[in-house]
Amino acid sequence: MMERVYVGLGSNLAEPLQQLRSALAALGELPQTALVAHSSFYASDPLGPPDQPRYVNAVAALDTELQPWELLDALQRIEQEQGRVRKAERWGPRTLDLDILLFGARLIDDERLCVPHYHMHARPFVLYPLAELAAELQLPDGRSLATLLAACPFTGLERLPE
């Protein structure tokens, strides 16, 4: 059974625009998965250490038959193939970050995966690109994307030209 999944993409190292383009191509090659659409690219201020470059972010919509943990493994392989090195420091610079934001109507909270993504409600670099793809979206916990957007200003965000 196909489920609609939204994946957040981010990069601020090693040609971030190219990192996102390559990641989108890799998402389109995943087995049992179709890349349905992706948002515009956005430049955003970094979370965490301020002495790092701005990020480039986007959101992709996938239809997949993969189970959540299979998709997570596939996303982590793509990150590694594009030079991601996981460090203890959270929110530091990275070549590529792929996060499962929503997986159908599922609520998941285990040691490897939290869906809906635990901080998506407070991140304009997630919410505004997501709204391009699914403005009427209702989250599994009943909140609407419109409500989340109303509480999350378009601060530190810049939509990049095509």
Instruction: Give residue 162's pLDDT.
Output: 80
What is the mean pLDDT of the segment spanning 31-56? Answer: 93
If you count them, how many residues does the chain have? Answer: 162
**Res 124 pLDDT > 70:** yes
Domain 3-159 has CATH 1.10.1370.30: no
Say whether the peptide bond before residue 68 is cis (omega within 30 degrees of 0).
no
In this prediction the pTM is 0.95
| Catalytic-residue membership of 84 | yes
Query: Would you list the domain boundaries of the chain?
Result: 3-159
| Catalytic-residue membership of 109 | no
Q: Which tens digit of pLDDT belongs to each residue from 54-109?
A: 999 999 999 999 999 999 999 999 998 998 776 656 667 889 999 999 999 999 99
Distance between CA atoms of residues 111 and 154, nearest Å: 31
| Catalytic-residue membership of 94 | yes
Q: Which of 4, 51, 97, 123 is catalytic?
A: 97
39: Cβ contacts below 8 Å, ≥ 6 apart: 58, 59, 60, 129, 130, 132, 133
Distance between CA atoms of residues 38 and 52, nearest Å: 26
Closest CA to 92 of 26, 1, 11, 2: 11
Q: Which tens digit of pLDDT belongs to each residue from 125-160?
A: 999 999 999 999 999 989 999 999 999 999 999 999
